[in-house]
Chains A and B, each alone.
Chain A
Amino acid sequence: QSVLTQPPSASGTPGQRVTISCSGSSSNIGSNYVYWYQQLPGTAPKLLIYRNNQRPSGVPDRFSGSKSGTSASLAIGGLRSEDEADYYCAAWDDSLSGPVFGTGTKVTVL
């Protein structure tokens, strides 16, 4: 039961910049940090962004996150073929007392 809303798909040509939005509410994004994950086909989610805009070591700086109010966004700059994957946002939800996830966005490199 996804509580955070993302566009189902996004696409771009190699080298382009793609942005994915994530919309929530005051009980999740509005009051907590946003995380972003990349899920390649048949694999587990991998952390891309934590605490709204922080990158774990090893994640290229082509990936960047931002948050404003009850919405957040992930930007992928200099799009590459290996970026084709599903991307999910997530945030703690104070009402659920658990994490909530986005509906997921499939990124296609044309």
Chain B
Amino acid sequence: EVQLVESGGGLVQPGGSLRLSCTASGFTFSNFWIHWVRQAPGKGLVWVSRINTDGSYTSYADSVKGRFTISRDNAKNTLYLQMNSLRAEDTAVYYCARVGDYDHPPDYWGQGTLVTVSS
């Protein structure tokens, strides 16, 4: 069974940093592109970032470019999202999501982790 489990969310002050993790199981992690997608409270889904199978290619939404960094450790079956210079508008549930086909939306999603940016 494909499983993605996020962790690392919490309350952080504006300007602060947080690192999210996503641990995968049930599939060969190193064979799949992975994305981060976020959902602000009561709002819709918004793409944040993606990374290719070996970590050599990454891309970001304009709203987080220069502040967030996506990375992966295939030996640990784990994806990361380093978030710096956090803003109130970054408050959201962050999902990691697997992509079954290159340049397609995700197929499997984790349960999400809540990030709250507030003083």
Contact = CB atoms under 8 A, between A and B. Distances in A.
B72 interface: no
Size category, B interface: 20 to 34
State the main secondary structure of chain B at its contact with A.
loop
A41 B56 CA distance: 36
Interface of A: 1-2, 32-33, 35, 37, 43-47, 50-51, 56, 88, 90-92, 96-104
Contacts, number: 63
Nearest to A2: B44
Interface string B76-119: 00000000000000000001000010011111111110000000
Interface of B: 35, 37, 44-47, 50, 59, 61, 63, 95, 100, 103-112
Contacts of A45: 45, 95, 109
